[in-house]
Amino acid sequence: MEGNSKLIIEINKDEALVIFDWLYRLIETEKKTSTKLSAEYQALANLEALLEQQLAEPFDPNYQQIVEDARSRIIGDSTPGV
């Protein structure tokens, strides 16, 4: 299998926002603390960039609240017995 093959993965908007926010924070921390960037870091940075291209919410003044609401919906959707 070729390393440049493309995959299509579907996730909902809430998942995309939460994953983007987590990746952004992870990548910013890694940039500050690591002297050598790994292939895993680069793969996650690429995913973060792809998500950023698809999302308008990170540029919204209410972004933090939007992400918190998305987190709440995800937890509410996946918590057994709720």
Q: Compute the distance between CA of residue 47 and CA of residue 63 in angstroms, rounded to an integer.
A: 19
| Distance set, CA 70 to CA 9, 35, 54 (Å) | 19, 33, 16
Determine how many CB atoms are found less than 10 A away from the CB of residue 66.
18
Mean pLDDT of 10-17: 96
Six-digit token pair at 75?
């937890």
Is 2 inside a domain boundary? Answer: no
37 vs 60: which has the higher pLDDT:
60
For the chain, the domain total comes to 1
Q: Compute the distance between CA of residue 15 and CA of residue 19 in angstroms, rounded to an integer.
A: 6
| pLDDT score, position 82 | 41
> Which domain covers residue 61, as residue numbers?
13-76
| pLDDT score, position 39 | 87
Is 81 inside a domain boundary? Answer: no
Mean pLDDT of the chain: 88
Q: Compute the distance between CA of residue 20 and CA of residue 23 in angstroms, rounded to an integer.
A: 5
